[in-house]
Structure formats: C-alpha cells, structure tokens
Amino acid sequence: MGGDHSDAIDWGLTTWEGNRRLQVQRWASLSLDQILEWQEAMAELCRELAGTPAPGDAGPAGAPPRLDSVRR
C-alpha cells in the first residue's frame, strides 16, 4: 500500500452529524427550481413505494387504489 492517504479523507464527514451537515450544504447550493424538481421526484417515489396513484391518475374520489396497479 503506497503512501499515507489519510489526508485525502475528510473524517468529519463520516459521522452522522458530518453527513447531515454535508446534506444541508448541498441543498443550500441548489437553485429554487432544482429544489422543487427534487421534491417532486421524492414525492413521486413516495407515492410509488406506498402504492398510491399520482394526483390526476386517481379514479373516482375516495376510491381505493386498485390492487393490480401495485407493483410487486
């Protein structure tokens, strides 16, 4: 193993607190349009994982999602 590479790693990012701080910095660097785009993508993923249809794809008001539309 060649040299000492410990300077190449920011060990402060390997903790929960360091990782959270990095996430906040990354979100702060995004434009408003990018933030909205990511939030829409996350909302869509949540709907898919929950098995509920997206707004506009729903059937009659109050109707439960069809079982055959849930992915396995």
Per residue in 8-51, pLDDT (tens digit) is: 888 887 888 988 999 999 999 999 999 999 999 999 999 889 88
Cβ contact 10:19 at 8 Å: no
pTM greater than the 0.75 cutoff:
no
Give the distance between the most distant pair of CA atoms in the chain: 66
User: Quick one: tokens of 13?
Assistant: 């990012």
What digits encode the pLDDT tens for the residues 53-65? 666 665 555 566 5
Residue boundaries of the structural domains of the chain: 20-52
Task: Return all residues near 10 (Cβ < 8 A) that are at least 6 apart.
Answer: 18
- DSSP, res 15: S
